[in-house]
Structure 1
Amino acid sequence: MRRVIAILTDFGSGDWYVATMKGVIAGINPDVLLVDVTHDIAPCSTIEAAFALKSCYRFFPPDTVFLTVVDPGVGTGRRPIALEAGGRLFVGPDNGVFGLVLEGESLTGCVELRQESPPESSTFHGRDVFAPAAARLSLGTKLSKLGPSVEEPVSLSLPEPERVSETELQGEVIYVDRFGNLIANIPANLVSPSGGDPNVLVLSFPRKGISISRVCRGYAELAAGEPGILLGSAGYLEVALFGSSAAREFGIEVGESFQLTLKASQKATRA
């Protein structure tokens, strides 16, 4: 089976940065399969990158190399690392982008990437440091050959929802997808312990004066322009606006707080 390198960045698609990294990889391993996870992470948003990575890595084959370059600290003392967890390999800056993966997986090994000569540029380690390392790993090079061991890579966690009462939680929007769906920091087990519909009465954005009570299983259950609450494929509560963007129409961005009222008969188990 061909090895896979999955690339996730905040570089966008309008510049040459992603293509340059792919060119470097192809020069080292021309047989590797390159997959674009996304290049539309908000600039420098390590938490957004970590969430996107957490949401997809399990669906890739074992030994996939995840090349993740969201690197606001490029050119500083932050470490370039490669690590193994969950049967996959991860390459990128040691700034927390792998933190959400490591919350659910045991760290098998981690090294600080070392090179014989300094990077060509202090601003493009994606090209000069991370892409070559990912390519070498895709050829079967052992982690230990890439640099010295690292005991504890930088951690990162999603903001925790706050319990206001037995039936009320306060949370925040942690991700907005391309369709404008608002993904909240409310995992499925908090609002649907039995795996059914979320036991939500009302979700409100106080600052915006918006309250939503329609609960659904899928987007198409909603009428055109109707907002609804559902459990998304990433395993978190979402707010959607059928046929439109909830983020745009409601003027909501990542970090917006909300209040969640649950049915009294099915209280949140933990928060």
Structure 2
Amino acid sequence: MTNYVVLQTDFGTSDGAVCAMYGVALSVDPGIRIFDLTHDIPQYNIWEGAYRLYQTISYWPEGTVFVSVVDPGVGSERRSVVVKTASNQYIVTPDNGTLTQIKKHIGIVAARIIDENVNRLPYSGESYTFHGRDVYAFTAARLASGVISFDEVGPEVSVDSIIELPVTEASIEKGAVIGNIDILDVRFGNLWTNIEREKFKQLNIEYGDSFEVVIENEQRQIYKNIMTYGRSFADSHLGEPLLYVNSLDKIGVALNQGSFAKAYHVKSGANWKISIRKVPKVIYN
């Protein structure tokens, strides 16, 4: 077990909520090292919280304790859990779908419900709207510092009972690979799809090949154009679109030094579909 705690929320940093979570963790053990994954998850967007965990967790040492609080059901009957991943890390979170991508792509080997009779900030028992501070940060700090073991979090539950959000798999249909726009690379406006590189390679692709890309939302066509598949953004001209492999080994769509999402008003989610079909190579002058 490390003494690392990594926090993710949809709280933002314009008030004292995140700072309060820091304070609770440090009151358990001043030697804990606390890091921020992000606090800019869109409000109530459980899917994006799940994805950002998946994007990040594999690059942290074994024993790191993550806290993810995107919790529109706070104070309800939804469960509060700690899970142990197949890569020997821990996630403290509401059981509301936040663990979807971790369960699917990394694996969960054990899960426990947080026993709030033991693992809850003292004198906070009448508050039901800030479990991020009163339950999750407190439990994470106790676990990371060795005050409690994983077994002492609370009663064990089946990994199969962990709630998952619907996930669509990419497919090959009539010579095209069909997928979803899972999420946006927010800062730069790139589109990150659910199309794995190995699935894309089934189209018999090479760098420099041209592809017809169609993006639809609710069966309404938003975008259709030809673009090149490149190793990096430098493989296209300024302002040109391109396909590339992103940092999660999936296919991304970008504009060279521009925001594809803003330029074409594209968002992410289950309703955003993308089709990629190989076409004869286009030569730009």
For residue 213 of structure 1, give the secondary structure of its aligned residue in structure 2: strand
Choose the corresponding residue for 1:180, options 186, 189, 193.
189
The answer on 1:149 being equivalent to 2:150 is: no
User: What pairs up with 1:213-228 in 2 under 5 angstroms?
Assistant: 213-228=227-242
Superposed CA deviations along residues 87-122 of structure 1, whole A, max 9, x for unmatched, are 101100001211211223443321111222764422
Cα 1:72/1:199, change in 2 over 3 Å: farther
Give distance in 2, aligned partners of 1:32 and 1:83.
Answer: 20
Equivalent pair of 2:8/2:67 in contact (CA under 8 Å): yes
Q: Match of 2:99, as an amino acid?
A: F
Q: CA deviation at 1:156?
A: 3.3
Note if contact 1:100-1:157 (Cα within 8 Å) is conserved in structure 2. no
CA distance in 1, matches of 2:242, 2:252: 8
For 2:188, the aligned partner's letter is: F
For the residue of structure 1 that corresponds to 2:229, the secondary structure is coil
Q: Distance in 2 between matches of 1:216 and 1:42?
A: 31
Q: State the partner residue of 1:269.
A: none
Count of residue pairs brought into register by the alignment:
263
2:178 matched to 1:170?
A: yes
Q: Distance in 2 between matches of 1:6 and 1:122?
A: 23
Shift of 1:2: 5.4
Q: Partners of 1:8 and 1:150 in 2: how far apart?
A: 24
Larger % of strand: which? 2
State the match for 2:18 in structure 1.
Answer: 18
The TM-score, its normalising length taken from structure 1, stands at: 0.88
Q: Distance in 2 between matches of 1:199 and 1:187?
A: 18
Q: Which residue of 1 aligns with 2:134?
A: 128
Long gaps (5+) in structure 1 = 265-271
Query: How far did 1:250 drift?
Result: 0.8
TM-score by length of 2: 0.84
Match in the other structure for 1:191: 200
Name the aligned partner's letter for residue 59 of structure 2.
F
Tell me what 1:27 maps to: 27
In structure 2, the partner of 1:267 is none
Superposition CA RMSD, Å: 2.3
- What amino acid sits opposite 1:58 in the alignment? S
How many Å separate the matches in 2 of 1:214 and 1:74?
A: 45
1: CA distance between counterparts of 2:205 and 2:103? Answer: 24
Q: Secondary structure at the match of 1:15?
A: coil
In structure 2, give the amino acid aligned to 1:77: E
Q: Which residue of 2 aligns with 1:65?
A: 65
CA deviation vs aligned residue, 1:150-176 (integer Å, no higher than 9, x gap): 1122123532224432x1132221111
2:211 aligned partner: 201
Deviations 1:183-213 (A, max 9, x none): 0111111113699749762212252233132
